[in-house]
Amino acid sequence: MGQKSTGQIIGVDVGGTFTDLIMLDQTSGKVRLAKVPSTMDNQAYGVLAALDEVKAELQAIDLIVHGTTTTTNAVLERKLSPTGLITTKGFRDILELGRRTRPQAYGMVGKFTPVIARNLRLEVSQRMDAAGKVITELDEDEVKSAARKLLDLGCESVVIHFLHAYANPAHELRAREIIAEIWPNDYITLGHELLSEAREFERGVTAAVNASVQPLLERYITRLVRELSDRGYGGEVLVMNGNGGMVSSSLVAHEAAKTVMSGPASGVMAAAFTGRKAGMENLITYDMGGTSTDVALIRGAEPSVSNEIEVEYAMPIHVPMVDVRTVGAGGGSIARVNAAGLLEVGPQSAGADPGPICYGRGGQDPTISDANMLLGRLNPDKLKSVAGGVSLREMGAIFDNRLANRLGVTVTESANAVIKFANMKMAGAIRMVSVSLGADPRDFALFAFGGAGPLHATALARELGVPTVLVPARPGITNALGCVVADLRHDFVNTINRPLDEVDIKAVHAVFAAQISEGEKLIGKENIEVSNIRKSFSADMQFVGQTHLLRVPLDTAVPTRDTLRQQFEKAYFQRFKVDLGEVRANLVNINTSVIGERPELDLSTLMDPADRKSSLAEAERRQVYFDDGWHDTPIYWRDHLPVEFSLNGPAIIEQMDTTILIEPGDEAVADGNGNIIITVGGLS
């Protein structure tokens, strides 16, 4: 960090539609925010536009933390750098064969495009067995000619992926030396390096994704850093990873695959941070946007992390990432009446273009957002500000024609049904996520963000039996906030995969020690002030004969065999309510996270104190429909709410980036940190 520290930090997150920015001046407590359209061809333009919007003086900025979807989009649209694969003879199709699946249970159709095309997948003679013993020596001449061929074919990066390299990486390491001689190249990914565990498809795809986004990410980051330095910025640019930590821009491209799911992760990190400050360490995050809804679990202020994320059909990226699940519906989800005369909402979505009817861009399908508008939950003044212009009357006519008529109800009742039904489906999906992670939703608070999250949160909470909803100060820029609060973080996974009784416990301790030292070394390389280095340890375990893994948190890097067994059996019982003490346990993976904690930030100024009024004052009143009919409902402007307040539903709180619905029977209070805490009525 620079010597003349002014305490100014910027977090900037590029999302699918908007680029969000938050600028925090820790000395004055001043906060500036920006929300500008994302520029997908080169995301740097949107970042620069956002910096202009807040009038950032870059030479006075200490640190910029950046969340980017550059790699996400490249993978999903397959706009990847030309990448070659060199692999074990007989196995070049592993990346295309996948795990023998189809995209959905019913319908014998599906498409799949492998990350690396078949003509760029070359084989060489070499073979290890599962114990890492060499069966066929590496044919070095074949490696050379394969590398030359890939060069000729225009490849920019290369993956070396050999069977069982997790057990013995010697051939992969040697092949890299050979290739580096004839093809000096920053973009060589070895299969075992990102993910040192068995399962050739998942490991191979992870490596292939990494190699094929490396050049893109590096070019993007280099260009961005240059643009910033041209404008006088002299500090470090940190980039968000999918594990919710950040890494220096100089290191990020090396493990580029880790950035693929970074967008949703930063939102969850912000939630964990906000929740911890608010004294709520167990949260279900609920991020509802225009096209999708993301859900994650936070326990003890730590987001759930998974090594087994599938980004889309047959696209596993098995590096530790915050376990964010997309559960379908967003504000643009379309409602319809099916041939059985029953209501359906989603999975079709009006998307961003034309979007819901209320966007005024020609959308003609009734959506969740439109239903909220018809019920008075969204401010109808917004209709006047959109380009095409559409009236409530026109929206009502579409609802009448498409839904109300066919259901035999009024337009209002049909809109209410859309919301009720969508809430029930979302609640079901959230319950499935929590059950699959072994949690009971009733033990959590719901952290609502995204443009539409706070509009549905209280109803969902009631459906799930969740007693409390937390709405942060700035729900629409939570991802940018996540950038500002994130820590430096490096995760390590090593596979043991032996029955616990047969494990050499000293070797386990040695692996933990190596993981710690590697993490500390990496954090040392990053030119960032950390207040504390924290480590967390866990083991992935199972009973012998099982295939699913259970992650067992450990409070030490030198556990005894008995500790491992007891902790596992305890965790298993908590999850499944089954005691299987008679069966032996397997130790599959051991994991360490090394976290460089950054100095604490004060977030109470996220709502500008200057704007706040001294007492609760209604901005207006309007008719809003709730389950029991229309209510004359007070509307508050959030920025004007006093620091401390308490109000009872029905009420609506509006702010620039979201609308908060407080239903009859609910009570909302300010918590002093800028959050609103809603106690859901009717739950015992």
Partner 1 sequence: MIIDPITLSVIQAGLQQICDEMDLSFSRAAFSPIIAEANDRSDGIYAADDGSLIAQGIGGLPVFVGTMQFSTRILIEMIASGKVASPRPEDIYIVNDPYLGGTHLMDVRFAKPFYRGGEIFCWLSNTGHWPDTGGSVPGGFSASATAVEQEGLRLPPVRLFKQGVLDQEIYSIICSNIRVADQRIGDVKAQAAALLVGEERLNELLDRYGDETVREAIGQLRQRAAVQMRSCINEIADGTYSSTAFVDSDGVVNEPLEINLSIIKSDDQLTFDFSKSSPPCIGPMNSVLATTVSSVYLAIRHIFPEVPISAGAFEPLKVLRPEGTFLDAQYPRPVSGCAAEVSQRIAEAVFAALIEALPDRVTAAPAGTSGNFGLGGHDPLRSRDFVMYQLSGGGYGGNADHDGLSNGCSTIGISKAPPVEIMEQTYPVLYHRYALREGSGGAGKHRGGLGLEYEIELRRGNARASFVMDHGRFGPQGALGGAAGAVNEVTVWQSGKPYTPEHLSKEQNVPLKAGDRVNVKTPGGGGYGNPFERDVEAVLYDVEMGRYTPEQARQLFGVELDANPYKINATKTGRLRAAASGDVT
Residue number, 313 or 597, with CB nearest to partner 1: 313
| Site for partner 1, residues 64 to 103, rule: CB under 8 A | 90-94, 96-102
CA distance 542 to 317: 22
Mark the segment that binds partner 1 (CB under 8 A) among 43-51, 107-115, 288-296, 628-636: 107-115
Residue number, 101 or 646, with CB nearest to partner 1: 101
Does 684 help bind partner 1 (rule: CB under 8 A)? no
Residue number, 223 or 570, with CB nearest to partner 1: 570
Does 409 help bind partner 1 (rule: CB under 8 A)? yes
Does 389 help bind partner 1 (rule: CB under 8 A)? no
Smallest separation (angstroms) from partner 1 to the CB of 545: 5
Does 113 help bind partner 1 (rule: CB under 8 A)? no
Among 407, 505, 616, 643, binds partner 1 (CB under 8 A): 407
Among 106, 152, 230, 393, binds partner 1 (CB under 8 A): 106
CA distance 596 to 532: 6
**For the chain, how big is the Rg over CA atoms in Å?**
26
Residue number, 99 or 393, with CB nearest to partner 1: 99
Structure tokens at 683: 């739950």
Among 112, 183, 637, 645, binds partner 1 (CB under 8 A): 112
Does 109 help bind partner 1 (rule: CB under 8 A)? yes
Among 32, 35, 144, 199, binds partner 1 (CB under 8 A): 199
Closest by alpha carbon to 40, among 66, 12, 73?
Answer: 73
Across the strands, what pairs with 491? 593
Residue number, 436 or 517, with CB nearest to partner 1: 436
Does 629 help bind partner 1 (rule: CB under 8 A)? no
Does 630 help bind partner 1 (rule: CB under 8 A)? no
Q: Write the CA distances from 90 to 121, 179, 647, integer angstroms.
A: 11, 21, 68
Among 78, 79, 118, 570, binds partner 1 (CB under 8 A): 118
Q: Please list, in sequence order, all residues whose beta carbon lies within 8 angstroms of the beta carbon of residue 312, skipping any fewer than 6 positions away.
A: 76
Does 152 help bind partner 1 (rule: CB under 8 A)? no
Does 580 help bind partner 1 (rule: CB under 8 A)? yes
Smallest separation (angstroms) from partner 1 to the CB of 592: 24
Instruction: Please classify residue 536 by burial: count the beta carbons closer than 10 Å to its beta carbon, then call 0-12 exposed, 13-18 middle and 19+ buried.
Output: middle
Locate tokens 């049904």: which residue? 417
Among 21, 160, 163, 256, binds partner 1 (CB under 8 A): 163
CA distance 558 to 547: 26
Phi and psi torsions of 295, nearest 5°: -135, 140
Does 201 help bind partner 1 (rule: CB under 8 A)? yes
Residue number, 404 or 677, with CB nearest to partner 1: 404
Closest by alpha carbon to 482, among 11, 1, 4, 7?
Answer: 11
Strands (E), 338-472: 343-349, 445-449, 468-471
CB burial readout 565-600, b (16+ within 10 A) else e: bebbbebbeeeeeeeeeeeebbbbbbbbbbbbebee
CB burial readout 455-487, b (16+ within 10 A) else e: bbbbbbbbbbebbbbbbbbbbbbbbbbbbbbbb
CB burial readout 143-181, b (16+ within 10 A) else e: bbebbeebbeeebbbbbbbbbbbbbbbebbebbbebbee
Mark the segment that binds partner 1 (CB under 8 A) among 66-74, 368-376, 570-578, 644-652: 570-578
Residue number, 252 or 329, with CB nearest to partner 1: 329
| Site for partner 1, residues 419 to 448, rule: CB under 8 A | 420-421, 424-425, 428, 431-432, 435-436
Does 497 help bind partner 1 (rule: CB under 8 A)? yes
Smallest separation (angstroms) from partner 1 to the CB of 153: 10
Does residue 630 sit in helix, strand or coil? strand
Residue number, 111 or 393, with CB nearest to partner 1: 111
| Site for partner 1, residues 296 to 355, rule: CB under 8 A | 337-344
Does 547 help bind partner 1 (rule: CB under 8 A)? yes
Locate tokens 């859901």: which residue? 680
Does 393 help bind partner 1 (rule: CB under 8 A)? no
Q: What is the DSSP string of 135-181?
A: EE---HHHHHHHHHHHHHTT-SEEEEE-TTTTT--HHHHHHHHHHHH
Smallest separation (angstroms) from partner 1 to the CB of 398: 18
Does 456 help bind partner 1 (rule: CB under 8 A)? no
Closest by alpha carbon to 423, among 124, 663, 143?
Answer: 663
Across the strands, what pairs with 647? 668
Interface positions with partner 1 (CB under 8 A): 90-94, 96-102, 104-112, 117-119, 127, 129-130, 135, 163-164, 166, 198-202, 337-344, 407-409, 413, 417, 420-421, 424-425, 428, 431-432, 435-436, 497, 543, 545-548, 576-578, 580, 583
